[in-house]
Amino acid sequence: MPHEEFHVHGAHDHHLEHAAEHGSSDSFAGRVAVTTAILATLGALMSFAGGDTQAKAQLYKNEATIKKTEANDQWSYYEAKGNKRNLAEVAATLVTQPDRVEFYRSENERYKKEQADIKAAADKLEAEYREWNQRSDEQMHVHHRWALAATAMQIAIALSAIALLTRRTWLLIGVFAVAVIGLALGGMAVAGV
């Protein structure tokens, strides 16, 4: 038995093949095709920009998490020094030998100074955490703008296909309106709004 291929053509494919074989003076189809190509290019660029901002947001969130963990480590260290300081205070009040009392008082002062240094380091790490977290949130906001812009371009492309298949010129108004919305959202993403 000979092998037969079964191939299904959609209306759009058939129209393109017919135009390629017989030449086409259909300016409507040409305009829609060019518009669709432009929209697809813009949509691809918007999708790329959206992916880039999402990746940055994730990196910034990761850095924020690292800073938060480091700050938590410092606070635990601060508490440990506080416990040692408390023990030194108790020991200074309980011992009766003057040299031991002085030793525990000096230990108390040392722990107090160390705690102040640790607190400063922990506060600095907390500030860095907040900064990285804010940068992540800002990038996610921009990412959402890019995602909406790319979605608008996809809708405009779908509308242009419907306009071509139905040959309804008025649908091109919808194509351009949705494309303008997508461009506005992309502009907002570029501006960081």
| pLDDT tens for the 193 residues of the chain, in order | 455 555 555 555 566 566 666 665 678 888 888 889 999 999 999 999 999 999 999 999 999 999 999 999 999 999 999 999 999 999 988 888 888 889 999 999 999 999 999 999 999 999 999 999 999 999 999 999 999 999 999 999 999 999 988 888 888 899 999 999 999 999 999 988 8
Domain count of the chain? Answer: 1
Residue 97 domain flag: yes
Task: Report the distance separating Cα 39 and Cα 23, nearest Å.
Answer: 25
Inside any domain, residue 144: yes
175 lies in some domain: yes
What CA–CA distances, in Å, run from 22 to 41, 88, 120, 153, 166? Answer: 28, 97, 79, 31, 21
Two tokens at 50?
A: 């959206």
Residue 105 lies in a domain: yes
Distance CA 160, CA 141 (A): 29
Joined together, the tokens standing for residue 51 give 């992916």
Q: Is there a domain that residue 9 lies in?
A: no
Q: Give this prediction's pTM.
A: 0.71
Question: Rounded to whole angstroms, how far apart are CA atoms 51 and 81?
Answer: 45
Residue 23 placed within a domain: no
Domain assignment present for 8:
no
Is 18 part of a structural domain of the chain? no
Q: What residues make up the domain containing 136?
A: 32-191
